[in-house]
Amino acid sequence: MTTYGTIPAELPRPSLTMILRAREQLGSITGSQRKWEDMIKIQSLNLPPNVNEAVRRIRTNTVFFKTNYVIVVALLLFLTLLLHPVSLIIIAIIAGAWLLQYFLRDNPLSIYGFVIDRTTIITVLTLFTIAVFFLTDLMNNIMTGIFFGLTVVLLHGLFRTVDDLSAGDEKDVSGSQC
């Protein structure tokens, strides 16, 4: 009796190392996130008295709230792309192509017996991505979303005073460069 087509009693367990690594990296990124209540404190918003103070506020707030600012820009970019569903579908197709052909592939790609190395795959995917960005209005939509997000971040950094930021964190802020 043959066992062709039978289902094994125990299915092999999928490797979760990629998921665990992504979870660790996401945790380390969001670990430097500041409280949203500190960021959106109405009492701490006012006009800077001069240009030097405005530049100091923007630099200090950028360093202090950098993770929050990245989240704000990413959210506004996503909301901008939601208004253009075709662009969102194109980004999903490009991301899927990159995931399937480069990031999730362990063995080399073979087409009709020809083995294609990773540099060729990267080159083709990069050219495909650039062509799609410039041949569609996707680049315009992405730039609009990023510009809108950076404008919101710049305005927040300009109007948010830095006097009430915690003293332990100000040492980190003043010692680092933007």
175 falls within a domain: no
**What residues contact 86, with CB distance under 8 A and at least 6 apart?**
136
Angle between helices 118-135 and 85-98 (to 10 degrees): 170
> What is the extent of the structural domain holding 141?
49-167
Tens digits of residue pLDDT in 14-39: 456 656 666 666 666 555 667 776 77
> At 151, is the pLDDT very low, low, confident or very high (cuts 50, 70, 90)?
very high
**Residue with structure tokens 């996707």?**
138
Residue 7: predicted pLDDT: 58
Q: How far apart are CA 150 and CA 81, in angstroms?
A: 16
35 falls within a domain: no
12 falls within a domain: no
pTM (two decimals): 0.62
Tens digits of residue pLDDT in 90-145: 888 988 888 887 777 777 777 888 888 888 888 988 999 999 888 888 888 889 99
Report whether 118 contacts 94 (CB < 8 A).
no
Domain count, the chain: 1
SS3 state of residue 26: helix
Distance of CA 118 to the CA centre of its chain: 24
Residue 117: predicted pLDDT: 81
